[in-house]
Structure 1
Amino acid sequence: MKWSRPISESSARIQKSIEFIRDNISRSITVADAAKIACYSEYHFQRLFKDEVGESFGAYVTRKKLETAAIKIAYGRDVNLTDIAFRYGYSSLSNFSKAFERFFGVRPSEIRDLIVKPPKKPGKLQDRYSKELVSKEMFTDEPHPTEEGLKVRFRNVEDNLKITMVEPFDVIFLSSRKGYEIEGVQGLWQEIEDYLQDLNLPSEQVDRFAICHDHPALFPKEKCRYDACLRYQPGLEALPFLRTTIPGGRFAVFSCKGPPEAVLDQYIEFSKVWLPRSGYEPTDFPVVDHLLPPDRAPYIQELWRHISRV
């Protein structure tokens, strides 16, 4: 059996460092710590990390901290900016605000007002990554909706949502070469389907997930990291995939309807309307998509958001 995408040892080791960054994004993360996780010298680690991820270690860590902070601010309720600054490793609100504005082109306090106050100048997001900060990719409504309207929308989301406890489980995965681009995602799942056929494993026996590492409003969607995952089961160990773990704990599971391109608006509605009023807050683990079988139509997937009580 010849695999079209063999996984190198270096890819597997760099993946361990990515997981380390993901799981410690609210802590101080050094090159030395990440290199130790990957079992490389700092020099070789930084070179291999950039080859694998497409960004330097320092740029990646800074971007992920600021992106995670931006999501907390944009979709949170009664957010304390000083707490956010300290949580993601900044010594003061002033230092955090300067770093945030350099990257996004707006101050942290302005991220919710993009509809009426777009960035005055480009930040690193545009200069380095060629991504403009666009309000409609971050929010779906007017700047100041009424509280009564929000209550109705909250109930609409809750009608398609459940809170469930999940035991940790392993998945194996391949990453999209074209990020969140629909063509790239569909091509990736077809590639995985071909692998399953090579193993003579019926498609309906495999549970499919995706880990969506980036918010497409805050990073170019063609560069966003999308990991197409199969829940691990005996018989899949021969596949040339990487391996990771979906953490255990409490998840908000929100059922989405419609074509794939309709999912983003539903995710925003869930994040902006339901989460801040739910009594829960999201952890720093990325959004997980659970792809549903055809017999679950009109629902196409579930958004799994790892949450904790406020």
Structure 2
Amino acid sequence: MAGWNHRIAKAIDEIDRTLDGPLDVDALSGTAACSRFHFQRLFSAIVGISVGEYRRLMLLRRAGQQLAFRGNVSVTEIGFDAGYENAESFSRAFRRAFGQSPSGFRTAPDWAAWHRTYDPLLEKKGRLMPDTGLDFDSVRIADFPETKVAVLKHRGPASEVPASVQRFIAWRKAHGTPPPRSATYNILYDDPKTTPAADFRMDICCAETGAIAENGAGVVARTIPAGRCAVLRHKGPLEFAEAAIRSLYRDWLPQSAEEPRDFPLFIQRLSFFPDVAEHEAETDIFLPLV
């Protein structure tokens, strides 16, 4: 079964890579090295939904991210980008999927409904992806400079992180620190898979050298200290970075003779979904070292 999982994972990668193009089932069956007569049944049996439904949900996932985090893009443009001919058909499809209109989601997203839709699918995708192990040559040692940051502290279920991100984005816009001008970091205190939801901690940050006035968003000043770090570049959905992080601790650290420093793992977001395709998003993972 593992062989078929790998083949279907390759087809999923191809759908994600060609999301803006037409759905070509014949080409996908070739990617999976499978007869087109059986490909769609195998896909549904392994993934749990049809090829067409998977692509539709991925397009709506991108649309939802644009609605929530890219307020400068119109609802109509987002609908066209998701493959709908007009705003009405996009609104109907979005409401069927999440129980909200696109404009309603933009104003007050129901993240609980969102996670009910996507968490099981992302978990299934993660299980299908082959664990090829960490390429030790891809880990580099770097001296991270002391970096002053503006921080919004998220405390509580990981499923509520998007709401915290929205608040932080609003603060960044008001403060004039967009990603092209100010590096974006996350400080990861806890593993969401092993930490009770109420105890989960994560800091959402951006580089900021100036003073931070008291604000309603709860953004405060902090410093990421200077020091040596093991750095690993992750490409693809941030949800799948955990496998790389686990391998960094499990495989690379024991053979490296390095010791972790008393500061949490943190990441720098280099490019963002939905600004780039999800498989093209890049993140640097920093493991602080003594």
Q: Give the TM-score, by structure 1 length.
A: 0.48
Contact 2:79-2:86 within 8 A present in 1 as well: yes
In the alignment, which residue of structure 2 is the partner of 1:209?
A: 234
The CA deviation at 1:100 is 0.6
SS of the aligned residue for 1:209 comes to: strand
Query: Secondary structure at the residue paired with 1:293?
Result: strand
Residues 1:125 and 1:229: Cα distance change in structure 2 (over 3 Å): closer
2:173 aligned to 147, 150, 155, which one?
A: 150
Name the CA distance, whole Å, in 1 between partners of 2:100 and 2:235: 31
Q: Is the 8 A contact 1:212 1:227 kept in 2?
A: no
1:99 aligns with 2:93: yes
What is the CA RMSD across the aligned residues, in angstroms? 4.7
Q: CA deviation at 1:142?
A: 8.2
Instruction: Show the counterpart of 1:33.
Output: 27
> Which residue matches 1:228?
243
Task: Give the secondary structure class of the aligned counterpart of 2:22.
Answer: coil
Offset, 1:97: 0.9
Out of 278, 281, 284, the residue aligned to residue 285 of structure 1 is 278
**2:132 pairs with 1:138:** no
Q: Which whole-Å CA distance do the structure 2 matches of 1:227 and 1:51 have between them?
A: 26
| Counterpart contact for 1:27–1:87, Cα < 8 Å | no
Alpha-carbon deviations, 1:221-252, whole Å to 9, x = none?
xxxx567359xxxxxxxxxxxxxxxxxxxxxx
Preserved contact between residue 66 and residue 100 of structure 1 (Cα < 8 Å): yes
Question: Does structure 1 retain, via aligned residues, the 8 Å contact 2:236–2:278?
Answer: no
Which is richer in helix? Answer: 2
Find out whether 1:182 has 2:193 as its counterpart. Answer: yes
Tell me, yes or no, if the aligned pair for 2:115 and 2:159 is still in contact at 8 Å. no
Residues 213 and 82 of structure 1: CA distance in aligned 2, closer, same or farther (over 3 Å): same
- 1:138 counterpart SS class: helix
Contact 1:35 / 1:42 at 8 angstroms: preserved in 2? yes
- String of CA shifts for 1:90-141, please: whole Å, max 9, x gaps: 22221111111100111111112217xx59xx9797589789xx99442227
Q: Secondary structure at the match of 1:291?
A: strand
How far the C-alpha of 1:74 sits from its partner, in A, is: 1.3
Secondary structure, aligned partner of 1:78: coil
Q: CA deviation at 1:10?
A: 2.4
Report the more deviating stretch, 57-66 or 35-44.
Answer: 35-44
What is the Cα deviation at residue 209 of structure 1? Answer: 2.8
- Structure 1 residues 205 and 259: CA distance shift in structure 2, 3 A: closer
Asked if 1:21 corresponds to 2:45, the answer is no
The offset of 1:155, in angstroms, is 6.6
Gaps of 5+ in 2: 122-157, 186-190, 196-228, 246-262
Equivalent in the alignment of 1:160: 183
1:53, 1:135 → 2: CA distance? 22
Shift of 1:151: 3.5
Q: C-alpha separation between the residues in 2 aligned to 1:94 and 1:73?
A: 16
**CA distance, structure 1, for counterparts of residue 96 and residue 117 of structure 2:** 10
TM-score relative to the length of structure 2 = 0.51
Which one-letter code corresponds to 1:93 in the other structure? A
- Gap runs ≥5 in structure 1: 1-6, 163-179, 185-203, 215-224, 231-257, 298-310
Call closer, same or farther: CA 1:14–1:227 in 2, change over 3 Å. farther
Closer, same or farther: CA 226–41 of 1 in aligned 2, 3 Å: farther
